[in-house]
Structure formats: C-alpha cells, structure tokens
Structure 1
Amino acid sequence: MTDGLEADVERLDGIAERRDELAARVRTHAGEIARELAVLQGGDYGQETFDTDGGSWTIKYEAGDVQYLRFDPTSGSETYVVSSKQPPEPEALETAMADYGAFVAAYNEYVRSFDGLFADVPEEFPAVESTAELVAERDRIVDRIREVCDAMAAQLHRYDGEYGTYATTVSGTRWELKWDGDVASYLRIGGSNGTYLLSQYGPPAATDVRRFAADVPAFVAAFNDHVDDLEADLAQVSFGDD
C-alpha cells in the first residue's frame, strides 16, 4: 500500500507546448487579417467585430499588426485567443479554435462585400481653375501697400526711434502699423485678433485685400495728419527771443 507519494505525476509540458504552438500559428494568421484591415481602413490602428453562429470575434490591430483577438462565445466566457499578456487556457483555446474557421469565413465575406464599391466612381474630373491671375493682382496691390507702409515706417523711425507702433482709427476700425527701422513689420486691422494686411509670415487672403485696400488711402491720410500735428507742435518750441 502506498501513500501516493510514489505515484507518477502526469506532466503538462506536452499540452503547454501544443497550446503555445497553436497560439503562435493563430497570431501569425490573424496578423495577416490585421494587416489587410489596416490597409482597407487606411489607418494605423482600429478594430472590427465579426459575428458567427458560435459567437463573435473582435480583432484589434495597431501599426499593421494584431494587438488581440477575442472570442466571445454565445455560451461561456470570452477568450483572448491572441493577447499581449498571457496565452489562453488550453480548453478555452480548443473551444475558440472550433469556431476559428467560421471567423475567417466571416472576415472573407466582409471583404467581398466591398466588391464593386468603386464601380460608379468617376475617373475623370473637371479642370481646376488657376488662381495665378488673382494671386498676381493680390500681390501687386500688397506690394504697393508695403511700399507706402515702408515709407511711413521710415518717417516714424526718424521721429520716434528704432521701432514702435503707430495706430489710428479708420472707418471705426483700429489700424496699427509696427515698424522696425525703415521697414514695416506688419499692418494689422482690427486689434490683436485682427487681420494682417502686411506681415512677415506670408501674404494676406485675396478677400482680405479686397475688403481693406479701399481704406488704405484713409489710413495714409490719417498718418499725414499725424505728421502735420507733430510739425505744428515742433513749430511752437522756442529757445528765447527770436
């Protein structure tokens, strides 16, 4: 009579090896599906769920590779057939693999459902109108505005210093010119969140030029009045009897 300590212990190495081998094959095969889905959806990551008679399969992919493949049977607990954590239990994997072929068939049917998707999409498109003439006219007007503002900047530089801003109101809207030396840094209309008719970053929209160009003469006239006032003030300075 033995107490059981001498009895042979059944080893599970073979089952675990078979489970790991099967899980690796599934990962490789599901990885192909993940890559195809990524190409079809046009994104680096996403997920899709496919229904079968035995349950539903959800595959999540990222960077063209499978992140997980989850089987949720109609009866019983869900199983992560492919996972970044731990392999599934052998019995759960066996149950899932009995339905794996149906999952692949559901995926294939999903792909085939897109057949003819682009059959009615036109391959010829209307000619695109060129903006060349509009841009050239916009640039011509902006260049002229910059010439005027640079001339104003030169006068402000001479009178008020190396850099600064000059602001006035035109048609009820604030116009602000910033100068740096003899060059206009920007001409902004409408305050800090306004429209830059001139800037160092790029030309304004053609619609903004059309909107504000007609008021540029009034802005220049206001500046000239400002200069006249300065000259009148200076004329009143006296160093004694003349």
Structure 2
Amino acid sequence: MNTTQALVAIGGKAQRLRSSGIGVPISKSFMRVRGKPLLHWNLLSLYAAGVSRLVLCGDTPLSLYEATFVVDNLGIRFEHVEYFQDPGLGVHGLPYQASRHLDEQFVFDCGHSLMPPEHYHELDRRKVAGNIVFSAFRPHPVNLRQPVVLENNSVRLLTCGPSFGFALAHPMIVDRGYIKNLPRLRFDVREVIAHYAERRNLCYAHSDMPPEFDVAAEYHVAISRYNKYLSDHILPNEAAYVERHRSARPRQVSEVI
C-alpha cells in the first residue's frame, strides 16, 4: 500500500449501546469477539494490509493503558506505535487534534471495526492528491447515518427522504489537506461529504462489513459478520493469515475512480 500509517480511534462512550443493555468495557474497541478485543482484530488486519505505524487515540488514560496490552500481545510488531490522548471532542476532529503525529497520507479507522486487508488495498488504490476515500456500506434501517446516492462513480448526499441503500460513516484514507479543511467544515461529516462530493473529490469502495456500529441492531449485524470473517479467514492461525496477505500485497499504484 502507498498508505503505511493508521490513525485509530479507540475512545468513545457507546451510550446508545449501553442504554440498550449491551455491555461495553471501556469503549467499543475493547468489546471481545472470539475471546479477544475488537481492537486486536482491527490491528491484525491493518498490519496484514501493509500498515506499519500506528497512532492510537483514546479519550481516557484507561483506554490508552489497555491498548498497550493489546499491542503487546498481538503476536506481530509494528515499526512504531504512538499513544495520543485526545480531548474527547468527537471522532471527526481526531485528525486535526493529532495532526503533528500524522504523515502526509494515512488510514483513519476505528478500533472496533474489522475490514479485510483487500478492502484497505481497494481504498488505497482510490486515493489521489486532494481527494478523500470512504468505505460505502448498506446501513441498518434504524440508523441511516449519512445516506447517499452512488451513481456513475459520483456521490450525492441525501438531505431528506428514504435511503437509497448506501451510507458513509467517516473517510478512511485522508491526507493533510483534509486536516486543513476540517475547521472550516466545522468538523461535521455531512459538511465534509457535501464539500468533497461537490468538487468530485470524494471516492469510495464498497464493503459488506460496516465500519461502524452505534445501536444494538447495528451491533448484532456487525458482530455476526465479524464472527463469520474470523471463522472463514483468520482462525485458527492468525500468523498464517498475516503472512499470506503481507506476501501478496499489491503494487503501489493509484487510480482515479
């Protein structure tokens, strides 16, 4: 991949999940699937995709403290890991808050998501100077997020009416130009989408696995898909999964979609 650094958000209150009676230890990143925190599986997949350096952002000392244990017990070693305590002003402002730690271009991910390495590669191929790249997914009807129309490789944000089947959560590969734009876009993801879509600088790749879950119905769907992916591709041999993908990484090329 051209993109070798990831900014991973590991904080948050998960209030809607907690209010539904779902147990959330510290944050969603530390919810356990197959006996390990979701952050473990997220970092394993990022590493398999070719990410070699991390900035882990938590909004409490406890989340960062627990993250060190996850990193130390991955069974793999990133070249460099930084732990950054953000001021808790929202996930969309994290690139701005952590900007001095970031490369010109980086993956922006949440520690509770699980994406195949191939999806990171697809996102990376769509990154060119000045654009941002999203993972487009089918939202749950109870939480349409930022519903969009995807047609002819363009994106149109819906302001009202039913969803046309796809949504965007947060941009997953961005650059320092994006960081500079965040204040005037008020750190609002809908303004981000509108701004970049209007200029045809918003690209996307489709995903069957949602990059986010905030409510109970989304959580159950996401965890079911994560469990299936773990069974089909990662378990029982995590080391073989990593080696298989790192040895098959694609050429470093970019294309405009």
* TM-score of the alignment, normalized to the shorter chain, above 0.5: no
TM range (shorter): under 0.3
Q: Which has the higher contact order (CA 8 A, sep 6+)?
A: 2
Query: TM (normalized to structure 1)?
Result: 0.24
TM-score by length of structure 2 reads 0.23
Q: Considering fraction of residues, name the structure with more helix.
A: 1
